[in-house]
A and B are shown apart, each in its own frame.
Chain A
Amino acid sequence: TQLLEQSPQFLSIQEGENLTVYCNSSSVFSSLQWYRQEPGEGPVLLVTVVTGGEVKKLKRLTFQFGDARKDSSLHITAAQPGDTGLYLCAGSNSGYALNFGKGTSLLVTP
């Protein structure tokens, strides 16, 4: 099993602040996904990155895949209470199931 380390594990910020979440591995992945999971629900896909150095934007969320395809980051600008949830990164290698990190639990207070 290829391990993915996420940091920080917990993050509590106020509305309007910026934050970055990191996902690191010693292994190379063909693709990396970011999911958000809300209490009582399954994970929902936010983005998939496949190319080293790739940057994708989803409204206030910016995702970056490392050049060596071993690490990734998620940056949220001007966080809102609706961003609260568990952010999970997951790596995969073509056709195989996802290897998930432990997640970053984010709380955004008004």
Chain B
Amino acid sequence: EAGVAQSPRYKIIEKRQSVAFWCNPISGHATLYWYQQILGQGPKLLIQFQNNGVVDDSQLPKDRFSAERLKGVDSTLKIQPAKLEDSAVYLCASSLITGTQYFGPGTRLLVL
């Protein structure tokens, strides 16, 4: 069974530029999560989707971050404009409606 796929794996941009990350969850998984993991810290939830609806986006900085899951399958996370403090690993995870979350390898973002 294929795992959670993410791309790109690495991205370097300058501050004030925009960037987008893509996630394809495990087939059949209704729930998709985006986490931000800053160096030295545990992952922090940014947004949780169930199918194509948002369950929780309370910690998403909505002035610069946006995410969508239009067809209830894959998802994109966008940052516009990026700040230095956005440098982090962005992890996507998926699960059945509830239950075990399976994580992708992450996208490492460096903002210069």
State the A residues within 8 Å of B (CB): 1, 4, 40-45, 48, 88, 90, 94-103
Contact = CB atoms under 8 A, between A and B. Distances in A.
Contact of B43 (A1, A40, A95, A100): A100
Contact of B98 (A4, A88, A95, A102): A95
A43 B105 CA distance: 8
Interface in B43-100: 43-45, 48, 56, 59, 91, 93, 97-98, 100
Interface string B17-58: 000000000000000010000001111110010000000100
Contacts of B105: 40-42
Interface of B: 4, 33, 40-45, 48, 56, 59, 91, 93, 97-98, 100-106
A41 B98 CA distance: 23
Contacts of B41: 102-103
B4 A100 contact: no
Interface of B is mostly: loop
14 contacts: A4-B42, A42-B104, A43-B91, A43-B103, A45-B101, A95-B98, A96-B48, A97-B45, A98-B45, A98-B101, A100-B42, A101-B42, A102-B42, A103-B42
Nearest to B58: A1
Interface of A is mostly: loop
Nearest to B33: A97
Given A43-B43, A102-B41, 11 more contacts: A40-B105, A41-B105, A42-B105, A43-B103, A45-B100, A45-B102, A95-B98, A99-B45, A100-B43, A101-B42, A103-B41
A1 to B, nearest CB: 8
Given A97-B45, A98-B101, A42 B40 contact: no
B5 to A, nearest CB: 11
Contacts of B104: 42
Nearest to B48: A97
A94 B55 CA distance: 13
Contacts of A88: 42-43
